[in-house]
Amino acid sequence: AGGGLSLALGLAIRDAGLPSCAGIIGLCCGTLQSPWVDLTASLPSILDDGCADYIPNVTGGAASFYAESQASKEYKGKDAALAAKIKNQNLGPKIWHDSFDRPEGRLQLYVNNEGLAIPYVSPMLAESLGNLPPLLLVAGDEERLRDETIYFAYRSAEPTKYKGPSYNAGKFEKSQFQTPTNTTFEIYEEMPHVFQFVDYACTTKSYERMSEFINRVTNILNEPLPPSSFNYINIKGELNPLNERHKKVLNWEKIGIVPNSAALSLRDDEL
């Protein structure tokens, strides 16, 4: 979860009023490629078995990942106490939705259900993604994290238009962070999660683009940053505008809402 953690750190620095970093690259390996930014699994591609990716379907929940033991029982007790505290508090933006109360139990090992919408856990669900340092967000077209990366990119670049989950309605208007974030988004044709670890033809192109971004935000090139852009890069490494089919997710009305147990897969025609 390096990409998600990098963005969470960016939010924490912004919220604390600390000096901003020069920029953030959205990679899952410590920069922001394929960042995991929505732990509610609310967007279609995370559940779409049509995605040719090695990330497993998460709808089975976390229970199948560990065997029952005395240690796990003690952990569950402490976890339940913390979950109740989160659920009952009323501080800042609302971070609870009834869909988090799953009969199947915990959705993610990473966090209890009551913490799924905490902005530093699911950065995509923050009340605003404005006022962040320049971002380079990268995803593969065939990965499960594709849609949340797309939605995050547009929320950061156009914070007044894309305002997050319905249960946080009205919070953006009260936020002090309404300035658009300079965002470069790139999606690579036919690529899986963190494709840069493999010697694909477009891997070199991706690293070249990252190098250019770093040189710009650190002012090595002594050039102003270009405006926010959303690009589709084909297997030949050619840049094109983002396909309209990728923008369908921007109309998704269930942002930050955990799918019910029957929703084992979601199709594009549901958008």
Residue ranges per structural domain of the chain = 2-270
pLDDT surpassing 50 at residue 265: no
CATH 3.40.50 is held by the domain 2-270: yes
pLDDT surpassing 60 at residue 114: yes
pLDDT surpassing 90 at residue 134: yes
Identity of residue 98: D
Rounded to two decimals, what is the model's pTM? 0.84
- List of residues 6+ apart from 238 with CB closer than 8 A: none
> What is the per-residue pLDDT for 262?
55
Above pLDDT 70, what percent of the chain?
Answer: 83
> What is the per-residue pLDDT for 248?
93
Structure tokens of 48? Answer: 């779409």
- List of residues 6+ apart from 222 with CB closer than 8 A: none
> What is the per-residue pLDDT for 65?
53
Site of tokens 């077209």? 141
Residues 65-97 have pLDDT tens digits of 556 678 777 877 887 787 777 777 655 556 778
